[in-house]
Amino acid sequence: MRDQFITWVQEAADGNQLAYGYLYTHHYPRLQVAITFITRDKEETDEILQETFLRIWKTKEKLLVVRSFEDYAFRVAKNLLFDHLRRKKVHLKAIDAIVHQQDDVATGGDQQLVYKEYHDIATRAIATLDPQKKEIFLLRTQEGLSFEEIAERCGIAVVTVKKHFYTAFHTLKKLLNEHGGVFTFLLILWSRGR
């Protein structure tokens, strides 16, 4: 069997999609168990693993120097998982900071003016999103729908919904950063206030 794996790896490195499909089918379940143990979320795990196998395929030439496909796939998945966990941690910290900023804004007259200015910037930034990203962003932030509920309402895959939401989020974050940075995540505050 080991010889078969070596053959599949070599053929995948040469661009053979069928051989890569065999590697994917064989290794996916074990990777899924390992990553789900950490994420505790099957959908997050599946997203990470899809990205893992896509990334390996995009750089398939590297497979020629890989000693163990399984070890290599685990390493790529682990790196993507850590990136994902770091982003998630930063995201949660930002939301927590905004809740406190919202309390501060509600107490001061001058701060109310600053809040209104940034609220207007956020509103204009949201208006620049393409229609589908805007709809998904507003359904998530204003109506509080889960990714699954949005996917069902829009008739698209949950993975697609998440991709559009996070693309919109990072686009808005960048736009707001260009207007001062203090209210980087004002768009979340804006949506909670409406």
- Residue pair 95/182 in contact (Cβ under 8 Å)? The answer is no
- What pLDDT does 56 receive? 93
Q: What is the pLDDT of residue 194?
A: 39
Q: What is the pLDDT of residue 105?
A: 46
pTM for the model stands at 0.47
Which amino acid is present at 168?
Answer: A
Residue 186 in contact with residue 179, Cβ under 8 Å? no
Q: In the prediction, which pLDDT does 52 show?
A: 93
What pLDDT does residue 184 have? 42
Digits of tens for pLDDT over the chain (194 positions)? 667 778 899 999 999 999 999 999 998 888 888 888 777 778 888 889 999 999 999 999 999 898 889 889 988 998 888 887 777 665 555 555 545 554 554 444 555 555 566 667 777 778 888 999 989 888 887 777 888 989 999 999 989 998 988 888 878 777 766 655 434 444 444 444 33
CA–CA distance, 59 with 13 (Å, rounded to integer) = 8
pLDDT for the residue 58: 93
Cα separation values, 187 from 93, 120, 123, Å: 15, 10, 8
- Domains of the chain: residue spans and CATH: 2-85 (1.10.1740.10), 108-192 (1.10.10.10)
Distance CA 187, CA 124 (A): 11
Identity of the amino acid at 165? F
Looking up tokens 């000693």, which residue turns up?
67
Long-range contacts of 82-89 (CB under 8 A, 24+ apart): 84/39, 84/44, 84/48, 85/38
What was the pLDDT predicted at 146? 85
